[in-house]
Structure 1
């Protein structure tokens, strides 16, 4: 199956075309911000290397957890392109993609993403199958959950729960892992909808655009 994969969830912007496990066009740029400005060009270049859009049967896009803004960029782009091409779009868990990037689908693996504010997003896997639901945990709870077993580690939050490792874990999904999960996904069970494990850090405005500020309360006059 020929697929296009898109990832803007973490600290990279990725677009790649694969035919099965064979890469036809791959573009990856590390970045913490700016995915919106780069994803179109990276998809264009990856697809051009692959000989065009002909034959692309499916689009896979990471759905989180990850950057709130990054997820929206990737999902909107993938869904718009899928509608234009008339092909299904499937959602890929960022945690599953990290685990697959580290273990190739074999072994006991923990994917851990730094969620900031003293938390991590985590999920464990055995031979590619999840052994727990994705969740957001405080650091102490995450350390307790992940203690007592030798694991393969992946993600930016690993050092927060394990300390230093002999080798730095992978912190963004590889194109190969994204393609493998996209091909294996059931479109009926992997919708391209965001996976939010925590409310966004931004807070809603207290007034609508153009709405006047409420008058300041006047101090009470002494009696």
Structure 2
């Protein structure tokens, strides 16, 4: 196995957890993943500047000319509308310029191996895992092995049984005696690992396009749209 270089971009976190992340992850000949460079910035506007974070990470890793990334892995959601749009656009641009593969990964896919292992460690006492992350006001995203949905905190009812819960909004929902995981976001290595597995055919293909779960906030005017100009 030859060395592979993966540029990881994540602008998905929303709300108080909002941030942008760019990392250069290398897989050596033995299949081990390691972070070569990492640039991260917190704040609601950070993801919009993810292009600058990517440039900084690539420069730190020395992946700017001959040693360009072989793969660009971007977190496609669920998460911030603006963050997803910005990070997916930057990922597409870098992949095209570097002639690299472009792979989309959800937050739950990246954390799934760790979460599944934690469920197994409890010896069958848990029904499974769910990843709860911030969405728009009064709502959260709930992702599990069956997919992702946006739910209203006020109207939500916990599933039966005991569950392993992770995510930056894990405390928002009233689960019955949940087992909480301290890790709230996927690591660059976890994102890269899923991207490489998907690249090799070990997972179904996923386009590097934003995974929008919530409907758009904008709505048509009550009187309809204005007529087209003549």
Which deviations, in whole Å up to 9, do the C-alpha atoms of 1:61-99 show, x marking residues without a partner? 011111111111001111011111111111111233355
Which deviations, in whole Å up to 9, do the C-alpha atoms of 1:27-57 show, x marking residues without a partner? 1112222422x21221112111212241521
Q: Summarize the alignment of residues 175-214 of structure 1 with structure 2, pairs less than 5 Å apart.
A: 175-186=188-199, 189-203=205-219
Change (3 A) 1:158 1:119: same
Residue 182 of structure 1 aligns to a residue in which SS? helix
| Equivalent in the alignment of 1:91 | 104
User: Is the 1:112–1:123 contact (alpha carbons within 8 Å) kept by the matching residues of 2?
Assistant: yes
**What is the number of equivalent residue pairs in this alignment?**
200
- Whole-angstrom distance in 1 between the partners of 2:181 and 2:60: 31
> Where in structure 2 are there 5+ consecutive unaligned residues?
28-32, 120-128
> Where in structure 1 are there 5+ consecutive unaligned residues?
125-129, 212-223
Residue 144 of structure 1 aligns to a residue in which SS? coil
Q: Summarize the alignment of residues 87-166 of structure 1 with structure 2, pairs less than 5 Å apart.
A: 87-99=100-112, 103=114, 106-108=117-119, 109-124=129-144, 130=145, 132-139=146-153, 142-145=156-159, 147-151=160-164, 153-162=165-174
- Give the TM-score taking structure 1 as reference length: 0.76
- Give the TM-score taking structure 2 as reference length: 0.74
What's the CA shift for 1:181?
1.8
| Selected match of 1:12 from 14, 19, 25 | 19
User: Is the 1:15–1:39 contact (alpha carbons within 8 Å) kept by the matching residues of 2?
Assistant: yes
- Whole-angstrom distance in 2 between the partners of 1:25 and 1:44: 11
Structure with larger Rg: 1
Q: Give the root-mean-square deviation of aligned CA atoms.
A: 3.0
User: Is the 1:5–1:182 contact (alpha carbons within 8 Å) kept by the matching residues of 2?
Assistant: no
What's the CA shift for 1:104?
6.4
